[in-house]
Chain A
Amino acid sequence: MSWFLALPIAIPFVAAVAAFLARGYRVGRWISIVGALAHLLSAILLISVVSAEGILAGQMGTWPAPFGITLVADNLSAGMVGVTAVIGLAVAIYALADIDERLENLGYHALYNVLIAGVTGAFLTGDLFNLYVWFEVMLIASFGLLVLGGDREQIDGGIKYVALNLVSTVMFLTGVGLLYGQTGTLNMADLALATENVDQGLLTVIAMMFMVAFGVKAAVFPLFFWLPASYHTPAFSVSAVFAGLLTKVGVYSLIRMFTLVFDHDLGFTQPVLLWVAALTMITGVLGAASQTDFRKILSFHIVSQIGYMVLGLALLTPLAVAGAVFYLIHHIIVKANLFLIAGVADRIGGSTCLSKVGGLYASAPLLAALFLVPAFSLAGFPPLSGFWAKYLLVKASLDVGAWVIAGVALVVGLLTIYSMTKIWGAVFWTPHPEGREPSLKQLDPALRRAYLVSIGGLAGLTVLIGLVPQPLLTFSEVAAEQLLDPGAYIDAVLGEVR
């Protein structure tokens, strides 16, 4: 059984090794794509097993829990692995056009696959120290990808990204040490049981350390400054996969730890999370409003959207948590796609700076149409996926009488439309400042195909989720049920010893 759990982690590692060995021969791109396809297949297999049989746990090396490392997949983990695989494939296809030979020779494809493996591992592990290790795998690969090529801007953004993320790493590690000192275990399911018998005040202090550590990763207020400082500097494939996946690993870890382990003092932790959520939404969207670069606007919108997911966790009702899960999956697809589109606009229009590009609506109408799908979805227009995600969270806020936060969520949605119309106006509607007529037809047909397949595929998925939300909604509701009543999770992991 544990093969279902290990495969999605093992496949990208195999692809990474193969891509590294073949880095001088230009087949790395195909290794990435074949690896991503296999990864997607294994993820679909995992989701179907988890949907059919409930939470799946596997003890690595057949060491019984809580002594060995456990891999666990509930609906949340399996869903996140699935969406990681989708983004992995889309960006691997996009990289055919976006990543040039120089970056390939430097080992882009090896690092890319290690990153995917790290993200997948973080979603699947049931052991806290193992989670730390996956964070590091992901982090070191992202460091490499961020500065790959070594432009001066990349080095500058990279310094800030590295510096702040390393602080979060140390914080995480210290928290792990203190939690181990209190409970004597690092298995998450075992921790959920062990925390009942320790000093609750100390536990809250440790919980706050984890909140800060994961908060930096998730880019919440006031810990997000590394994100807009660095995400606009690397290659577009890289910023798309970062934008889609990296911050969501932080959100996932917050959701996992604060539903499973740190649910002892909800009267203290939930209001903190609620404030964090509100301030993250507001500062992110205001930051975006002040920017004049395509990718910088999108970077600040990542921050603002993270607030919605944290909001779902803060309210902690079944509907709110389901909304957060739905939001996570929807947002990864939409946000990665927007960065991919920014890459095409840069390629044919010559810049991502809003004042130096334009006219794409007239000369590249297909790209304009493809931009509208994720942009409107991000802002929450029906019938796209973002509408359902926002609807669930606003409804959940109103259900518990949290009028203010519901209002904040709606106003932030409105301001998101403002930013999206700013991009629309500058990049698509106004004529190009140099009088050029950038068109997709200038591109080599092979490049054009790679661009359109990846962007069109993700946009199609957004529309599909929007038109037929029920399967994903049901999936998220089951995920919320599992998160809010961790008994089944604990039984799945510790079944034999309990």
Chain B
Amino acid sequence: MEPLIAIAIWALVSASVWLMLSGTMLRYLFGLILISNAANLVIFTSGRLTEGAPPLIPGSESAPLTVVANALPQALVLTAIVIGFGLFAFALVLIFRAWTELKTLEHDEMRLAEPREDGK
């Protein structure tokens, strides 16, 4: 299972790097969604993958009897997803404002805060 997930992470990261470097802010944003999900997968896989073993403890016991799924990375990923979603929502609104105020989403044309010396 790990090799498959590793390939999925590779695909997500390479797609997102391409998107992020392609020069428009909207594509950058899509790249950001992909790469943050790749990071989530990394955390998830780091906790080791176990198949069909939910982390449940029988009522009479104080510790799991067999090897069960690691619940900590799931909690971490959940936190990261929530935070990532908040940041994404903010970035989306910011980019929308940039589109209405600056009339462009091209990186190279966003020179308002750092104008060129020659005024172009």
Contacts and interface: CB of A to CB of B under 8 A. Distances in A.
**Bind each other:** yes
Contacts of B45: 177, 181
A346 interface: no
A129 interface: yes
A233 interface: yes
A147 B90 CA distance: 11
A140 B46 contact: no
A140 B101 contact: no
A233 B110 CA distance: 14
Contact of B42 (A152, A162, A163, A178): A178
Nearest to A137: B83
Interface of B: 20, 25, 28, 32, 35-36, 38-40, 42-48, 72-73, 76, 79-80, 83, 86-87, 90-91, 94-95, 97-98, 101-102, 110-114
A136 B95 CA distance: 19
A155 B102 contact: yes
A2 interface: no
Interface stretch (A167-175, A359-367, A421-429, A455-463): A167-175
Contacts of A150: 97, 101
Contacts of A147: 94, 97
Interface residues of A, number: 38
Given A143-B90, A174-B42, A180-B43, 13 more contacts: A133-B79, A136-B83, A156-B110, A158-B94, A159-B98, A162-B90, A174-B43, A177-B45, A180-B73, A180-B76, A181-B47, A230-B113, A233-B113
Contacts of A132: 80
B83 A156 contact: no
A139 interface: yes
28 contacts: A129-B76, A129-B79, A136-B83, A136-B86, A136-B87, A139-B87, A140-B86, A140-B90, A143-B90, A147-B94, A152-B102, A153-B113, A155-B94, A155-B98, A159-B98, A162-B94, A163-B28, A163-B91, A167-B20, A170-B35, A170-B39, A173-B43, A173-B80, A177-B46, A180-B73, A181-B45, A181-B48, A233-B113
Interface on chain B toward A: helix, strand, loop, or mixed SS?
A: helix
A118 to B, nearest CB: 12
A253 B25 CA distance: 29
Contacts of B114: 228-229
A129 B36 CA distance: 15
A162 B112 contact: no
A232 interface: yes
A156 B94 contact: no
B32 A155 contact: no
Interface on chain A toward B: helix, strand, loop, or mixed SS?
A: helix
A184 B95 CA distance: 38
A86 interface: no
B91 A162 contact: yes
A208 to B, nearest CB: 16
A323 interface: no
Contacts of A228: 114
Given A166-B87, A170-B35, A159 B46 contact: no
Contacts of B36: 170, 173
A176 interface: yes
Nearest to A228: B114
Contacts of B113: 153-154, 156-157, 160, 229-230, 232-233
B97 A155 contact: yes
Nearest to A225: B114
Q: Which of A132, A163, A229 has the most CB of B within 10 A?
A: A163
Contact of A178 (B46, B90, B91, B94): B46
B42 A177 contact: yes
Closest 9 CB pairs of A and B: A181-B46, A177-B43, A156-B112, A157-B113, A177-B42, A156-B113, A173-B39, A174-B39, A177-B46
A11 to B, nearest CB: 23
A153 B18 CA distance: 27
A449 B105 CA distance: 43
Nearest to A165: B87
Contacts of A144: 90
Contacts of A156: 98, 102, 110-113
Given A140-B90, A174-B42, A232-B113, A166 B32 contact: yes
B5 to A, nearest CB: 12
A141 to B, nearest CB: 11
Nearest to A146: B94
A255 to B, nearest CB: 24
Contacts of A169: 87
Contact of B83 (A133, A162, A181): A133
Contacts of B39: 170, 173-174, 177
A363 to B, nearest CB: 30
B78 to A, nearest CB: 12
Contacts of B112: 152-153, 156
Contacts of B95: 159
Nearest to A182: B46
A180 B46 contact: yes
A180 B40 CA distance: 13
Contacts of A170: 32, 35-36, 39
